[in-house]
């Protein structure tokens, strides 16, 4: 019953803001507008359609706001008026009252606001779909006088999100049962993945941990700055972090005036993305322009500043290696290797003909090479891949959905920042270097160093294990048992010698590398 009520509310809000206008684009369906106009004469349609669309998404709640945020980065797919208006959803969602924010802080810490912060600005500096941000100053103590940004969760978010997720789950069940590709696309798993990340956003302690992890990953990096978290001032509903100073990345003209090298900035953005995905398997999955600033300070000019860590993506070592191999094969136009990688990963049925799959991939990929990002639409590219994957029954991998979403955000940012960027040439050297580290001698030595403690514990136990194995067959002659034991001891000694030699070699290489540096 609650879902039906919510569905009716969605339909009503759409009518109230005149979204039926989008059903009759190009002159079709004029009777729809006339019918609704007669039934709902009180509707105020004086505002432009883009404004009414934004207001409707805001009225529908956080999930729909996030949908609008994602759309706002796809200027190649949207009319200019709609893209400009939806961009306001990135950090200009109507704020909730300052009194509610202050009450939330006092409830979270159990003491008056003046004891939590030395100064608190009641005017929010940013307001998003699930939280808003205020500036403050920490009281005397370990970090006394430090300027901070305080993120406060919107009150009453959970019931609304649970209702909307229920609607999405119901839609996924219908899609799974009614559409031919329903099961292959795994819509319920995709909704489950989205729900997981959305619930994570409602726990600001989890977001603070995400922020701290990303900061460690990019410690001392000249490419990306991440704010410090002040744990004594964090709870599940309040997060306190270092205040960052910079210019929003969407203000390209202003960045140029401030002396930022835009082509270099665009190239650094690609490197940051691939570093997060492939080197760490931990990436910012909500990279719309409202969450990215650029430093204009003389010593850090051109450095990215990351904000809002509620949605982070993770990839396993298997996922990363699979993606890297596919990307490298793709950059080299080795489509057979791409097809074979899909087959080896079990993402296509084992009876699939590799040559047919290779030809289909070539037909999709060839048109996008040797073109700057301004001439490439990842939206259309992914659509073509989707159409070909349907032919070959490729299974959709829910764990990669966040990565696909982030790729679309990256494309939208790239178009705004520097459309002439050659994405392929920028990314290829990084991926080749990373793959060399993974499968070359550096990767071997790193794996050896990681496994050495386990080997050192395991090798001394071999005689006991051998004795236990021999004792299983008591009928064997004593001489045979002794000979087996001596052979195993010789192997153990050889293994220990090899282990010492390998560790010694690793130490020498490290010292040599340090000396050269």
Q: Which residues are catalytic?
A: 286
Other CB atoms within 10 Å distance of the CB of residue 286: 25
Instruction: Give, rounded to a whole angstrom, the gap between the first and last alpha carbons of the chain.
Output: 68
CA distance to 68, 72, 113, 435, 489, per residue, from 120 (Å): 31, 32, 8, 48, 70
Q: Which residues pair with 224 in a beta bridge?
A: 304
- Name the phi and psi angles at 159, rounded to 5: -60, -40
For 48, the token pair is 């432009």
391: nearest Cα among 369, 344, 359: 359
Backbone angle region of 121, left / alpha / beta, with phi > 0 → left and psi within -120 to 50 → alpha: beta
Find all residues with CB under 8 Å of 438, minimum gap 6, and list them: 321, 324
Q: How far is CA 169 from the centre of its chain?
A: 22
| Dist CA 368 CA 290 (whole Å) | 29
Find all residues with CB under 8 Å of 140, minimum gap 6, and list them: 118
CA distance to 57, 69, 111, 200, 455, per residue, from 288 (Å): 17, 7, 36, 18, 46
| Dist CA 136 CA 98 (whole Å) | 13
Other CB atoms within 10 Å distance of the CB of residue 244: 16
Cα dihedral value 468, 472, 475, 477, nearest 10? -30
For the chain, what is the radius of gyration of the CA atoms? 28
For 285, the token pair is 């999955």
- Per residue in 193-213, is it b (16+ CB within 10 Å) or e — as a string? bbbebbeebbbbebbbbbbbe
492: enclosing H helix or E strand: helix 478-516
In the block, which residue shows the tokens 């972090």?
Answer: 241
Q: Which residues pair with 147 in a beta bridge?
A: 137
| Dist CA 338 CA 325 (whole Å) | 8
407: enclosing H helix or E strand: helix 401-417
| Dist CA 429 CA 435 (whole Å) | 10
Decide the pairing of beta strands 304-306 and 224-225: parallel
Other CB atoms within 10 Å distance of the CB of residue 390: 13
């Amino acid at each position: 019953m609650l879902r039906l009520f919510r569905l009716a509310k969605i339909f009503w809000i759409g009518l109230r803001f005149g979204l039926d206008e989008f059903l009759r684009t190009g002159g079709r369906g004029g009777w729809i507008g006339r019918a609704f106009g007669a039934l709902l004469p009180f509707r105020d349609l004086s505002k432009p359609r883009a404004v009414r669309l934004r207001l409707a998404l805001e009225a529908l709640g956080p999930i729909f706001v996030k949908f609008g945020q994602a759309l706002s980065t796809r200027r190649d797919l949207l009319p200019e008026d709609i893209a400009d208006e939806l961009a306001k959803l990135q950090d200009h969602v109507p704020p909730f009252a300052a009194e509610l924010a202050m009450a939330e802080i006092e409830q979270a810490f159990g003491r008056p606001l003046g004891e939590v912060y030395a100064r608190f600005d009641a005017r929010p500096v940013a307001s998003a779909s699930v939280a808003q941000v205020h500036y403050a100053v920490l009281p005397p103590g370990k970090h006394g006088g430090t300027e901070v940004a305080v993120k406060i969760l919107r009150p009453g978010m959970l019931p609304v999100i649970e209702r909307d997720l229920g609607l999405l789950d119901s839609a996924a069940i219908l899609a799974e049962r009614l559409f031919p590709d329903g099961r292959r696309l795994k819509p319920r798993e995709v909704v489950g993945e989205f729900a997981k990340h959305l619930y994570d956003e409602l726990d600001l302690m989890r977001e603070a941990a995400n922020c701290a992890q990303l900061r460690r990953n990019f410690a001392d990096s000249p490419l990306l700055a991440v704010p410090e978290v002040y744990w004594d001032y964090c709870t599940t509903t309040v997060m306190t972090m270092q205040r960052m100073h910079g210019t929003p990345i969407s203000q390209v003209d202003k960045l140029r005036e401030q002396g930022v090298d835009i082509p270099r900035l665009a190239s650094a953005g690609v490197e940051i993305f691939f570093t997060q995905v492939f080197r760490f398997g931990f990436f910012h999955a909500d990279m719309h322009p409202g969450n990215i600033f650029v430093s204009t300070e003389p010593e850090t000019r051109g450095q990215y500043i990351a904000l809002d860590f509620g949605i982070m993506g993770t990839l396993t070592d298997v996922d990363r290696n699979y993606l890297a191999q596919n990307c490298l094969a793709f950059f080299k136009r080795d489509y057979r290797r791409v097809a074979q990688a899909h087959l080896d990963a079990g993402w296509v049925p084992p009876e699939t003909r590799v040559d047919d799959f290779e030809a289909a991939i070539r037909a999709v990929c060839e048109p996008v090479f040797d073109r700057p990002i301004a001439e490439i639409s990842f939206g259309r590219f992914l659509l073509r891949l989707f159409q070909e994957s349907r032919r070959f029954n490729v299974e959709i991998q829910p764990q990669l959905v966040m990565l696909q979403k982030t790729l679309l955000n990256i494309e939208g940012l790239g178009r705004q920042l520097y459309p002439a960027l050659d994405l392929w040439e920028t990314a290829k050297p990084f991926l080749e270097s990373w793959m060399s580290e993974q499968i070359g001698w550096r990767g071997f030595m790193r794996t050896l160093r990681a496994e050495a403690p386990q080997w050192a514990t395991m090798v001394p136990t071999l005689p006991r294990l051998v004795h236990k194995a021999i004792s299983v067959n008591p009928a064997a002659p004593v001489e045979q048992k002794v000979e087996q034991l001596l052979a195993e001891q010789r192997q153990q000694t050889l293994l220990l010698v090899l282990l010492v030699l390998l560790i010694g070699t690793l130490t020498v290489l490290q010292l040599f590398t340090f000396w050269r540096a």
